[in-house]
Chain A
């Protein structure tokens, strides 16, 4: 590969990884639609799913353009196999109860909001700056909404406090992976296209610490961070997500919908 081709390939991989995070989390959040604890949350969760899936669509479309190999946004979203998806493990975790889902949203939004803010302000890539400008505003809402809920649950009833603590125990050890740059991400950071994800850690930690303080939750010590998604090493639930997500494209190949 030439130098230009390598840069292109890194950009493609990095954009694809971002798209996968948003698609898989959007898929999970969309599972709530019609089943939320209250009508306002049916609307709010659907809104967040729409934002995430909209961001994934813009990113897949850009990845397809970078790749320039005749694949469409839908080919990339629907027609890869498990090991080719590079989403982090956090986003594929099952919805569990409302506390799990809203905490997962907080962890992700507390990472993506500064991430997009950095891209919008600093990226050398015009398309990504455009995507980031919109996404930053959307993630600010996700962050506010999920943070308010984590506080309400942590400082609500005994039951809600217990449930949100259980969610922290179940999910916190997946958060370290957010700060693990893949080789493509690292290359894009060196080129000034994307932020170095490790630099976002202080901001993420301070946001979570603040929310947890208001929600009377303790920051847990994580003995064994769980990672692997960035290398396509997913959990057992990933295949089930893809089974549903890809059902139509796999059952009726090569058709227009």
Chain B
């Protein structure tokens, strides 16, 4: 899963024009920038922010789906769900490692998440009250994540681009798994079909918001595009997602909760109704249903685990001391 269009990165930078031009020439030549290469401070800061948001999104994203692990309806679904949530944790781990190559520690990033300084994708501030939410998240949220992340496989920063290749393969599997859950529900009893439609109604608009504000309202799109951190604008990615997803809903007999959604022959895309950006900003700023609960759960895990992490460090130190004493 992916953080929505980057929120609040500061790409200002103070290097000489000569340095910036030389860096831009490498970017334009499609060279990968590696951790020890010279890079503008703004580039480094933007990537730390972006990879950090992405990593946090993976970790917080374990919670809404984790909510259904102990209640999954069959053994097959339970095992697939745990494996999926575990994959998200694995993505978090690669991403924290990729960010660490830029000189920021996992502990520091975790503290920023817990203090509210660092953002994560707002999509995870919506609750998962029914089993169909697990299908809808896989289908829509992971589907939107893939749209965002496929271009990131060509991101100019090498470690991020390489991490995205594996992440995208796993997300693609998750998306199919989610769609298969929805298909099963949509072809099931009335109660199951209603559950699927209700989940689609709740997740469709927040999924569209995952791509971030409209291009006209996006603060830092241009510099990120020039540095080839991003390859497509928020609106371009959102449109790709809508065009890919609407026929999938039709195929299983579900209805998109947007009366203005219609195919536009002329543009070759779907037109859609207006997105409620007030809701988007309210959730980004902490006013979503689950914002407090998500951070409280992460803080509890971190605080409750402190003595375990400390014990591991102290034990390793004791072992090292004994080894020296024995030599």
Contact = CB atoms under 8 A, between A and B. Distances in A.
B107 to A, nearest CB: 10
Interface stretch (B85-93, B139-147, B199-207): B85-93
A47 B86 contact: yes
A7 interface: no
Interface in B156-196: 181, 184-185, 188-189, 191-192
B308 A50 contact: no
Contacts of A252: 73, 189, 191-192
B63 interface: yes
A155 B189 CA distance: 56
Interface stretch (A156-164, A202-210, A226-234): A156-164
Given A49-B82, A152-B312, A43 B89 contact: yes
Interface in A229-257: 244-245, 247-249, 252, 255-257
A33 B189 contact: no
Interface residues of A, number: 47
B108 to A, nearest CB: 14
Contacts of A74: 74-75
Contacts of B191: 252, 255
Interface stretch (A53-61, A84-92, A119-127): A53-61
Interface string A22-44: 00000100110111111111110
Nearest to B67: A34
B69 interface: yes
Contact of B307 (A27, A159, A248, A256): A159
B314 A157 contact: yes
Nearest to B306: A37
A46 interface: yes
Contact of B71 (A46, A77, A153, A245): A245
B240 interface: no
B272 interface: no
Interface-central residue, A30, A49, A153, A257, by most chain B CB under 10 Å: A257
Nearest to A153: B311
Contacts of B307: 157, 159-160, 163
The secondary-structure label for the interface of chain B is helix
A36 B298 CA distance: 9
B315 interface: yes
A35 B301 contact: yes
Contacts, number: 137
B309 interface: yes
Contacts of A33: 62, 66, 69, 82, 85-86
The secondary-structure label for the interface of chain A is helix
A35 B86 contact: no
B79 interface: yes
B310 interface: yes
Contacts of A43: 86, 89-90, 93
Given A97-B304, A155-B318, A156-B315, A57 B79 contact: yes
B315 A36 contact: no
Contacts of A41: 305, 308
Nearest to A162: B307
A15 to B, nearest CB: 15
Contact of B78 (A35, A53, A255): A53
A152 B93 CA distance: 23
A177 interface: no
A112 interface: no
Contact of A34 (B93, B301, B305): B301
A106 interface: no
A39 B318 CA distance: 23
A73 interface: yes
Contacts of A35: 66, 297, 300-301, 304
Contacts of A257: 73-74, 77, 131, 181, 184-185
A223 to B, nearest CB: 29
B92 A39 contact: yes
Nearest to A151: B315
A50 B83 contact: yes
A255 B72 CA distance: 13
Contacts of B280: none
A37 B89 contact: no
Nearest to A164: B311
Contacts of A152: 311-312, 315
B128 to A, nearest CB: 12
A160 B318 CA distance: 14
B308 A37 contact: yes
A30 B301 contact: no
Q: Which 7 A-B pairs have the closest CB atoms?
A: A37-B305, A156-B311, A160-B311, A248-B73, A37-B308, A46-B86, A34-B62
Interface of B: 59, 62-63, 66, 69-79, 82-83, 85-86, 89-90, 92-93, 96, 106, 131, 181, 184-185, 188-189, 191-192, 297, 300-301, 304-312, 314-315, 318
9 contacts: A35-B300, A38-B305, A43-B86, A47-B86, A49-B82, A50-B79, A57-B75, A160-B308, A245-B70
Given A98-B308, A156-B312, A160-B310, 5 more contacts: A42-B62, A47-B86, A60-B75, A97-B304, A248-B73
